Structure 1
Amino acid sequence: MSESPHPSRRAWHPLIAPAMAAFSTYWPAILLIQLVALAVVLSYYLVDRAGGLFATVADWKQAGGLYFAAGSTIVSGGILPELIKRRFRPAGVKAPGLGELCHQFIMWATLGIVVDLMYRLQSHWFGDGKDPATLLTKVFVDQFVFTPLISLPGIALWFALREVNYSPKAFAGCLRFRNLSARVLPLWTTSLCFWPVMLCIVFSLPTPLQFPLFLLGNAAYSILMIFIVRHQAPLQTT
């Protein structure tokens, strides 16, 4: 007689399965973006002639402030991933329509502002050290406080709002803890599979360059996240 699956495996499988499906579909694009991010960090520390370019990027970020955060996150989370997905999207998978893309762009702009403020706050709280203790503290706060309690619930509810065609009555049902947790937990497990190592790289750069590097990671993660969110929806309208 075959052995039945361990209870913990049965419990965790629904949370991990969406991430595995997303990775298996778009892993070439995600790997490419991660390699580019790694090359950026290595060039910062190893290529002296790249210093001028990094200084320019930091100046753009400082000058643009929250407007830079909003606009660049729309590009990294919405426009760039959609262009990449048009290359790697499996046959038969429908591309998002204009209405869905505009809905996403509003979310990405808001998320960019919130993330930028969170990075500044972490720098104020924990300093700008590059030692392991500081890096791990920032990663822990990001992945176990900010992500599951603020960013992912906001993202999940924003997509749910479109799914119910902006109906206040139907949207109220999405606010129930059971419904919200069912949406957030698969996204969080996907985040934990991707972001901790990426954030160690991000936080190893000076503060003005952390958000620009986050944009590369965000481009990769958004591919996974949008894949999962669109498959969570019982009916997707465009």
Structure 2
Amino acid sequence: MTRRAPPWAAGLRAARANLQPGLIVQSLMLALLLAYYFYPPTHAWLDRLAALKARWGYGYSAVASIIAGAVIPELMRIFVFQKTQVRRSNFTNLLFTVPFWCFMGLVVDFFYRQQAGWFGAEAAFHVVWKKVLVDQFLYNPLFAAPVTAWLYDWKNSGYRLAGTGRFFTAAYYQETVLATLFATWGVWIPVVTILYSLPSLLQIPLFALALSLWVTLYTWMSEHRAKESV
């Protein structure tokens, strides 16, 4: 009998594969954090972004998340990998990713607001570490990671209802969700630490920016690896 790999092994492999794009996103976000506090022109520009978020509220979160998580990755796929050829699959992808990322953007905004109510809105160490722990070790494993895995696997199966019962088993969580978590933690623990070190009104705009950078870089690398393997 062949010995099955432990459930976290796939997650560690994914984390290593994500290392390069993750470091790029983390470096850019850290640069923005430092520029916000120490470079007045960047501070002023980000304050205007925060004012826009305050004016649009949840609408800003919905639109920004759609652009970051759905539109930009699909445009990159069209212009870089499909050499400007628009295919039917691009529209079918958007039919899934637009409502998905709209929903997730609204959820993240609501969650960030709740965290500010629970722990405070100031960018202090005793506030930031609590938000990071709740974000990455409660919200992520109990909601964000499983919901994302369920819906993407449902999409990839052709939206068939048959077999979806496996989504709610311990085996599926170990083999699929846990792998996603390991890959996510390596990138997003530093990123959300940076986000929670900024004023509340800037957290969603820069979450969307980080998401856009991450999805774009990851799409480029995954497509590049797929072409090399052919």
TM-score, normalised to structure 2, is: 0.80
The answer as to 2:60 corresponding to 1:64 is no
Residue aligning to 2:163: 170
Residue aligning to 2:11: 15
Contact 2:72 2:216 in 1 (8 A): no
Matching residue's letter, 1:103? F
Residue aligning to 2:121: 128
Contact 1:191 1:221 in 2 (8 A): no
- Cα distance, 1:75 vs. partner? 1.4
- Cα distance, 1:115 vs. partner? 0.4
User: Equivalents in 2 of 1:204, 1:177: separation in Å?
Assistant: 35
- Cα distance, 1:171 vs. partner? 2.2
- Cα distance, 1:21 vs. partner? 2.8
Matching residue's letter, 1:56? R
Of the three residues 34, 44, 48, the one matched with 1:52 is: 44
- Cα distance, 1:101 vs. partner? 3.1
The answer as to 2:151 corresponding to 1:155 is no
The answer as to 2:74 corresponding to 1:78 is no
Number of equivalenced pairs: 216
Spell out, residue by residue over 1:49-100, the C-alpha distance to the aligned partner (whole angstroms, 9 max, x if none). Answer: 33432222111111211111111011112233445567887xxxxx963212
Taking a change above 3 Å as real, the CA distance of residues 137 and 87 of structure 1, as seen in their structure-2 partners, is farther
Spell out, residue by residue over 1:125-176, the C-alpha distance to the aligned partner (whole angstroms, 9 max, x if none). Answer: 0002322221111000000000010111111111122123222233233333
> Higher mean Cα deviation, 118-127 or 33-42?
33-42
Residue aligning to 1:236: none
User: Equivalents in 1 of 2:18, 2:79: separation in Å?
Assistant: 15
Quick one: percent identity of the two aligned structures?
A: 26
Matching residue's letter, 1:37? M
User: Equivalents in 2 of 1:97, 1:87: separation in Å?
Assistant: 11
Of the three residues 16, 22, 26, the one matched with 1:34 is: 26
Taking a change above 3 Å as real, the CA distance of residues 102 and 57 of structure 1, as seen in their structure-2 partners, is same
What's the Cα RMSD here? 3.2
- Cα distance, 1:220 vs. partner? 4.0
User: Equivalents in 1 of 2:158, 2:133: separation in Å?
Assistant: 36
RCO higher in structure (CA 8 A, sep ≥6): 2
The answer as to 2:201 corresponding to 1:208 is yes
Contact 1:19 1:224 in 2 (8 A): no
Matching residue's letter, 1:173? R
Taking a change above 3 Å as real, the CA distance of residues 17 and 50 of structure 1, as seen in their structure-2 partners, is closer
User: Equivalents in 2 of 1:129, 1:21: separation in Å?
Assistant: 35
- Cα distance, 1:196 vs. partner? 1.3
Spell out, residue by residue over 1:13-72, the C-alpha distance to the aligned partner (whole angstroms, 9 max, x if none). Answer: 22211232344xxx3x54444333223222211122334322221111112111111110
TM-score, normalised to structure 1, is: 0.77
Of the three residues 138, 162, 185, the one matched with 2:178 is: 185
Say which SS state the counterpart of residue 197 (structure 2) adopts: coil
The answer as to 2:81 corresponding to 1:111 is no
Matching residue's letter, 1:34? Q
Matching residue's letter, 2:66? I
Say which SS state the counterpart of residue 97 (structure 1) adopts: helix
